[in-house]
Every structure is written in structure tokens, then in C-alpha cells.
Amino acid sequence: MSGVAVVLDAPGRHRLVRHEPREPGPGEALVRVHAVGICGSDREVYQGSRPAAYVRYPVTPGHEWSGTVDRVGDGVPAGLVGRKAVGEGFRNCQVCARCHAGETTLCTAGYAETGFTEPGAMAATLTLPARLLHPLPDDADLGAAALLEPAACVAAAALKADARPGERVAVVGTGTLGMLAVRFLAAASPAELLVVGVDRRRAPLAERFGATGFRTTDQPLPADFDVVVEAAGSPDAAGVAAGLLRRGGRLVLTGLPAPGGGGLDPADLVLRQLEVRTVFGAPPHAWAHAVRMFAAGLLDPLPLVTHELPLAEFPHAIDLVGSGDPGVGKVLLRP
């Protein structure tokens, strides 16, 4: 089961190499990769703009993936073999206080994540700790399932937002994370679910995912929402999101903007008594929430996929993701 893999030796330098599967050791599983998604963080790794503490070259990227378990090591249930699955990326230690509290993305042993510091899924196979796997139904669409990693991150945001039925909710951002946030928040039965973006052409897709309204950032925006989830990652997005809230409202930030732009005003946060939470990655309970919604048919990310390319077209895929073309949604590579 050989094949090829993408290796980034350094920013802007990649190779296609022959891939040989790494046999699973005790507690591990080997997965045949079906599809792997590309997001902004993969582009950062390629360009060299990801913070140094969160990447280690050379690396095979790919943290958004789906596949089928091919074989397992000692101590892993044999019943996993043949199962469709997705997997968590954070390689947590399992023994520190944060891990015991279920906050695996805050593991005090240090940062380690598939596709950034550990070999990722832009290869024919991926070997990882079996405890990170989330099995899927036998009839699951593995193309759609490749988006369950961003869905899990959004699920973490939705759980922190704690939107309640009848509340007024807004999402800032119309990319993959923004649309997935709309779907999760719509499940909470809000009285209103507004999406704010820069391109009105995204409005029909937002409505398809559950939005009740759409406004562009150059329109007058209300300031009376109970909950706002920011999923844009642009320099001004946090400020726009905070401006939508009523006094005492709840704000969840998921984007990692580049320096510059308007940020949050601490005085405004205090005077309006805003509650601010943040998300970086997804802990196990958020993964379970996303997989449960997907398995129940309540979450279908497939409409977000606009391009599927072979692994050899990795550079083209990176260019597509950074093109700014509103017609480019989620790009998948097929090993």
C-alpha cells in the first residue's frame, strides 16, 4: 500500500515523495486516507507565516481528513479494522491536569498536532494513536466527513457560546467555519440567526445552512444580539463581532488574524460587561458533538466542497485556497 506523500521541507519548498506506511505500534491504528482538506493554517505552513512554536519542518501536512482503518496495533480493538473514521489532531499526554479535565487542546506537555508537528494526512496512509479515532457509520460519505475537523472546532465554539432557544444569534464570517457555525447554532432554535460577511453572493449558502438573514459589513449593523460567533479571522472581525452584541452578550472568537486592523477595546468589554471566549482546536467532547450531528444527518458539510484534486496538485490547491475567489470553498485532495 505505497503511494505518494507531500513533504514541506521549509516554507515554500515541497516535494512529492514515495510513501511507505508506518506499521501501527501498540495502541495505534493505520488509516487509508480517503480525502484531506486544506484550510488557512495549511497555507500558513506552506508560506512560513505560522508561529514557529506551532509547526516543525520537515512535515507532511494534513489535519482535516477522513479514511478507513486498515490495521491496528496491539491493545486496539480488532473491530476498528474496516471502519470509516476521522481523528483528532492534538497529540495530548492524557495525564496532566488539563487532559484529565477534558481540555486536551491545553495539554501542559506542549503542543503537538497531526499535520503540523506530526506527520499528517497528505499521504496514502496515516498512522496515529487509535484513541484519537472517531468511527463513523458504515454509509458515511467520506468526502463530507473530511470536513469534520473544522466542524469539531466550530462545535467547540457553539458549545462555548451556549446559545439558548429564542436568543438572537449572529455569525461573522462566511467561509467554511462560518457556514458550519451557522449550522450548529441553528440547531439551538434561535429567534434570529444573522450572518455578516463581505460578499452578498454568500447569502444563499448561508440561508441553506440555517441563517435567517444576511448583511455585509458595509451595511448598518444592529447591536442587540445575545450571542456572536466570530469565524472570519480577518483583522477587523473581532471588533465587528463585538459591535453586534447587546450589553452582557457572549462573544466566541475562533479566527487567528494577522497583525493590524481593529481589535477589541478592553474598556468597551468592561463597560458593556461582555463575556469573551476563544477556541483553538477541538477537545474530545466537541469532536463527539460534531460526529454525532453528522451521523444523525443533522450536519451535511458537502455543499461547502467546491474543488477535489489529486495529491500531486497540492501547489494548485494552496493557490486556490488563497485566491480570494468567492467561488472557491473547501478544497479537498484525494490521495
The mean pLDDT value for 313-334 works out to 92
Place of cell 511507505: 20
First to last CA, the chain: 12
Q: Any idea of the CA torsion for 158, 161, 167, 171, to the nearest 10 degrees?
A: -60
Neighbours of 310 (CB within 10 A): 12
DSSP result, 306-323: EEEEEGGGHHHHHHHHTS
Across 240-329, where does the E strand assignment appear?
245-253, 275-278, 305-310
Q: How far apart are CA 189 and CA 61, in angstroms?
A: 37
Q: Which pLDDT band, with edges at 50, 70 and 90, does 271 fall under?
A: very high
Mean pLDDT of the chain: 96
User: How far is it, in rounded angstroms, from Cα 39 to Cα 33?
Assistant: 17
Average pLDDT value for residue range 238-253: 97
Angle at 331 between CA 51 and CA 215, to 5 degrees: 85
Residue 14 neighbours by CB distance under 10 Å: 19
**Mean pLDDT, residues 239-247 taken together:** 97
Q: How confident is the model at residue 1 (pLDDT cuts 50, 70, 90)?
A: low
pLDDT tens digits, one per residue of 125-161: 999 999 999 999 999 999 999 999 999 999 999 999 9
* DSSP string across 203-250: HHHHHHTT-SEEEETTS-----EEEEEE----TTHHHHHHHTEEEEEE
Using one digit for the tens of pLDDT, what is the confidence trace for 153-203? Answer: 999 999 999 999 999 999 999 999 999 999 999 999 999 999 999 999 999
pLDDT, tens only, 43-94: 999 999 999 999 999 999 999 999 999 999 999 999 999 999 999 999 999 9
Beta bridge partners of 142: none
- Contact between residue 305 and residue 329 where contact means Cβ atoms under 8 Å apart: yes
The strand pair at 168-172 and 213-216 is best described as unpaired
Q: Grid coordinates 494513536 are at which residue?
A: 129
Contact 277, 251 (CB under 8 A): yes
The rounded percent of the chain whose pLDDT value lies above 90 is: 93
